[in-house]
């Protein structure tokens, strides 16, 4: 049984209020799918930042890219590799602006074709497309078309972080069990989205039973608080 808690608060970075993960410092409000992403695809012990985001994108490819989730749940007529690569822009913008760093990851091996099929080729494609897309958008958005100031070996750093995230997801949930995990992703999404409206100070408790493949979520004020 995995239990995750969210708090209904004002978002510190964006206008509005919503559910914010209580275990992730610096997180923003989430929808149901965002909650499922934070719970299942982010490493629970990595501090938020560019490294954690790219690590999570490796898990995204394992959980949603390989299962057809994007075809079923988005209206974008693109392959999963192209959809995931679009997330690079916002992450690398923060690196370029100096608000986040893209550190050196531990050395990684290519994902074995014997164990992981075409995952290595797919992740390499995501990295190539993502960096190219981010650089093109950056040049188009800056007045002088200045090159995006990110590390020259960003492609290798990102590739390693994504390999680690892919392997982590596979080991965390079980090799070959990404379709079962995708089902839990969808159950979390539905459970959280049933609790869209709340008052400031309320808490959303999400309980995930992987063995029984069941998710429940309920919102209420924390028991130790008193409201009149």
| Per-residue pLDDT of the chain in tens (228 residues, 90 and over written 9) | 999 999 999 988 887 889 999 999 888 989 999 999 999 999 999 999 999 999 999 999 999 999 999 998 887 778 999 999 999 999 999 999 999 999 999 999 999 999 999 999 999 999 999 999 999 999 988 877 788 999 999 999 999 999 999 999 999 999 999 999 999 999 999 999 999 888 899 999 999 999 999 999 999 988 665 555
Alpha-carbon gap, residue 138 to 170, rounded angstroms: 33
8 and 219 Cβ atoms separated by less than 8 Å: yes
The reply to whether the predicted model has a pTM over 0.85 is: yes
Domain boundaries, the chain: 2-220
Strand partners, 198: none
Alpha-carbon gap, residue 187 to 174, rounded angstroms: 18
Alpha helices in 16-117 (DSSP H): 32-36, 50-60, 69-73, 80-85, 88-97, 113-116
- Angle (CA) 76-82-87 rounded to 5° is 90
Alpha-carbon gap, residue 103 to 51, rounded angstroms: 7
């Amino acid at each position: 049984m995995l239990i995750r808690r969210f708090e209904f608060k004002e978002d510190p970075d964006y206008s509005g209020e919503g559910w914010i993960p209580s275990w992730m410092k610096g997180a923003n409000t989430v929808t149901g799918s965002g909650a499922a992403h934070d719970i299942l695809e982010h490493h629970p012990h990595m501090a938020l930042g560019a490294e954690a985001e790219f690590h999570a994108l490796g898990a995204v490819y394992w959980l949603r890219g390989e299962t057809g989730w994007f075809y079923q749940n988005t209206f974008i007529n693109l392959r999963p590799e192209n959809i995931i690569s679009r997330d690079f822009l916002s992450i690398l913008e923060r690196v370029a602006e100096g608000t986040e760093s893209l550190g050196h990851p531990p050395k990684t091996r290519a994902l074995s074709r014997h164990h992981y099929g075409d995952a290595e080729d797919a992740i390499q494609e995501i990295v190539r497309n993502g960096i190219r897309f981010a650089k093109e958008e950056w040049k188009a958005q800056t007045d002088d078309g200045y090159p995006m100031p990110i590390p020259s070996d960003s492609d290798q750093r990102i590739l390693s972080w994504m390999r680690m995230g892919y392997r982590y997801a596979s080991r965390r949930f079980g090799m070959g069990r990404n379709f079962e995990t995708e089902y839990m992703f969808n159950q979390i999404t539905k459970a959280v989205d049933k609790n869209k409206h709340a008052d400031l100070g309320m808490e959303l408790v999400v309980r995930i039973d992987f063995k029984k493949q069941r998710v429940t979520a309920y919102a209420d004020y924390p028991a130790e608080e008193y409201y009149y």
